[in-house]
Amino acid sequence: MTCRIAFVLFPGFQQLDLAGPMAVFEVAQRARPGSYDWRLVASAPPAVRSSAGVAWPVQGLPRRLSDLDLVMVIGGDGVDAACRDAVLMRWLQRASRSGARIASICSGSLVLAAAGLLDHRAATTHWSRGRQFATDHPDVRLQPDRIYVREPARRGLPELWTSAGMTAGIDLCLALVAHDHSEDVAREAARQLVVERRRPGGQSQFSPLLELQRPDGRFAALLDEVRRDLRQPHGVEDLAARACMSPRHFARCFRDETGATPAQVVERLRVEAARAALEGGAASVLRVAEDCGFGNAERMRRAFVRRLGRPPAAFRP
């Protein structure tokens, strides 16, 4: 089923806020033909000039909202004027009642807040707009340290996605692709774009081991096996046997290629999978700990604090 997207632009929008997400969906569309389709829309067609001075052709705001599955508002320097665009505000309010998912990139969340779509819901925005956001929209539960925030649909309210900055829009869209299709498709999109598949909830970087997911890597197939069944112990001797190597030789070669020990890599893969499950709304922390091979919640908590600097509860939606 095709996800039909409307990228909402306004004068002074940031081109990277548009190009990054569009590239994610383009690569996902190649991996899964027919998965995404998009159009550029604005309240003042036929063209909108970006903050870099380049005019982009756009269509008018669609009247038939049943044709849209995702409305994504782009950010940029022109966001303050966009918040005063009455036509755009009314259209976004209609869109929020249509059943479509609503999303924003970077400071585009200010536009959603101005339209009243974020009241009493969690959201994030670019760090430079945090104080303005908190002052202008006190009813929004602003989470300024998050890369992106997903608010599930509830009580007639749409599903909402907001991101913290330009490149964080790529993180958000990769998460959307994983949500719509699978981790494999999102990982492949990240690999093609040469970006990290997933970063932690805060602003600090966390590599999900994309460097270990190269199809030509010596241990790529072995790591895929580990990832598919994290419940198993995956000790050095077991991994070495599957690689047809002695434990000592395997450990040395593995560290030379990855820069980490097998135990460190297995733990990182478990943390990555557990965080994805928690952010996806998994009901039980204990179940996530068991499914991801930690054995118990306390062991998972220690691994999260060690790898991400935060406990698992910090990653619940």
Statement: residue 208 has pLDDT above 60: no
Question: Residue 198's pLDDT band (boundaries 50, 70, 90)?
Answer: low
Question: Residue 197's pLDDT band (boundaries 50, 70, 90)?
Answer: confident
Q: Answer yes or no: are the C-beta atoms of 40 and 57 closer than 8 Å.
A: yes
Statement: residue 203 has pLDDT above 50: no
With residue 136 as reference, give the H or E element that holds it. Answer: helix 130-136
Look-up of token digits 């997400």: 21
- Measured CA to CA, the distance from residue 180 to residue 146 in angstroms comes to 21
Q: pLDDT above 90 covers what percent of the chain?
A: 62
Q: What is the mean pLDDT of residues 176-185?
A: 90
Statement: residue 107 has pLDDT above 50: yes
Statement: residue 212 has pLDDT above 60: no
pLDDT, position 217: 65
Name which residue leads in pLDDT, 165 or 140. 140
Enter the tokens of residue 233: 């112990």
Q: pLDDT above 70 covers what percent of the chain?
A: 92
Q: What is the mean pLDDT of residues 180-203?
A: 77
pLDDT, position 145: 67
Cα angle: 125, vertex 126, 132; to 5 degrees: 75
Q: What is the mean pLDDT of residues 302-317?
A: 85
Statement: residue 112 has pLDDT above 90: yes
Ordered structural domains, the chain, with CATH: 3-185 (3.40.50.880), 207-315 (1.10.10.60)
Q: What secondary structure does DSSP assign to 14-79, as a single string? A: -HHHHHHHHHHHHHHHHHSTTSEEEEEEESS-SEEEBTTS-EEE-EEPPS-GGG-SEEEE--BTTH
Q: What are 25-37's pLDDT values in tens digits?
A: 999 999 999 999 9
pLDDT, position 206: 35
Statement: residue 74 has pLDDT above 70: yes
Question: Residue 95's pLDDT band (boundaries 50, 70, 90)?
Answer: very high
**3 state DSSP class of 209:** coil
Statement: residue 9 has pLDDT above 90: yes
Statement: residue 287 has pLDDT above 80: yes
Residue among 27, 7, 16 at smallest CA distance from 174: 27
Mean of the per-residue pLDDT values of the chain: 88
pLDDT, position 119: 96
pLDDT, position 111: 98
Question: Residue 207's pLDDT band (boundaries 50, 70, 90)?
Answer: very low
Question: Residue 230's pLDDT band (boundaries 50, 70, 90)?
Answer: very high
DSSP letter at 107 equals T
What's phi and psi for 70, nearest 5 deg? -145, 125
- Measured CA to CA, the distance from residue 162 to residue 217 in angstroms comes to 35
Statement: residue 227 has pLDDT above 90: no
Q: What is the mean pLDDT of residues 99-128?
A: 95
**3 state DSSP class of 196:** coil
pLDDT, position 201: 43
According to DSSP, the residues that pair with 87 across neighbouring strands are: none
